Structure 1
């Protein structure tokens, strides 16, 4: 996909979402085309990082939920930052693909401050699901409508989805994006996040076959 392709193609987005800008973005992983969108329903600003020609079938795709603590600060309590880097490397190695970075997804959609409160409860022994529920919040409040609409706008008809989360696959299918393959994005666990990953596997159905469940998972610090 070229800059002019993005600039000139008629938008296929729903009225609540607007393509606002596009620019070349040089990163440590490679040079991407950054395409910015505004979700007029939620007010969130979203970005797609496009590498190569992604139109048509089978684009390697990552829907990445924002995680300030993991993506920016390198928190060991989750695998988010490592997954972000691994996904960008995989897209560049593939020669074509797209990463959609979803704002409004912090803490599985509960927001940064609530996420920090939930982390404090996890330090007291609750798992990540129990902590959200103890705060009166959903276990997972994320919505992937805007991601699907962005993919439609970028001309992507089907994807090879880099995700361990079955909910992302189901959401894209509901919104008209076909899944050619679900590609695991497995990061070696740390002592600090093993219990968290086990909870994602057991409570959310994440496909995490690399976890050694025979180990004793210490409570998340």
Structure 2
């Protein structure tokens, strides 16, 4: 499965049993930064087939610590469930905590949000853009897995644009309006109003 690329490298794959089903975990690294990322694949597909995928940025607080101040952990679980129900698919898990600002800066941003700023204002107050994520490795990961056409589970149109610009055909978008709570409605409204995310407005009332 190795690909020739000066920026990224495929490392190895192994079975990963989960409570949703048995996935294969594939390891990748960005050579310049040594940042590590993984893809979880389920089922099989032919080259050229449309494959359900989700691009999920790491969120330690939501994914592993069960925070309800964001919807990340809920969306991660729903994506894995959807993939198993479809019988095939891939989750690209990118190590880009806090929309790219890192874990400790995310905690600083949380503190600012506790004192009245929204998620975008908090990042900008710390000197960062609202969203610093880089999706270039997704092309390499999908090429490695022989995927060129996808059904993308996302509420974020920037991910559609990023994949399209990289030469991946996004055949359709599947909404993932999952995990809206009293703790994160304001956060999700901000993402909708300031970052262009698409959520069912009835869920945010």
- Please give the range of the TM-score, normalised by the shorter of the 2 chains: over 0.9
Q: CA offsets, 1:20-41, max 9 Å, x none? A: 1110110011000111111112
TM-score, structure 1 normalization: 0.89
Q: CA deviation at 1:189?
A: 1.8
1:69 counterpart SS class? helix
Q: 1:24-103, aligned counterparts within 5 Å?
A: 24-54=15-45, 55-103=47-95
2:158 matched to which residue of 1?
167
CA distance in 2: counterparts of 1:193 and 1:66, whole angstroms = 17
Q: Alignment partner of 1:14: what SS?
A: coil
What SS does the corresponding residue of 2:39 show, helix, strand or coil?
strand
Can you give the 5+ residue segments of structure 2 that lack an aligned partner in the other structure? none
Distance (whole Å) between structure 1 residues aligned to residue 3 and residue 149 of structure 2? 16
Matched, 1:117 2:108: yes
Q: Helix, strand or coil for the counterpart of 1:61?
A: strand
The CA distance in 1 between the partners of 2:202 and 2:131, in whole Å, is 22
Give the superposition deviation at 1:191.
1.1
* Residue aligning to 2:167: 176
Q: Which runs of 5+ in 1 are unaligned?
A: 1-8, 216-221
Distance 1:210 1:90, change over 3 A: farther
Partner Cα distance (1:184, 1:212) in 2: 13
Give the 4+ runs in structure 1 shifted more than 3 A: 210-213
Contact 1:100–1:147 (CA<8 Å) still a contact in 2? Answer: yes
How far is 1:188 from its partner?
4.4
Q: Does 1:147 align with 2:138?
A: yes
1:23 to 2:17 alignment? no
With 53-62 and 17-26 compared, the bigger mean Cα shift is at 53-62
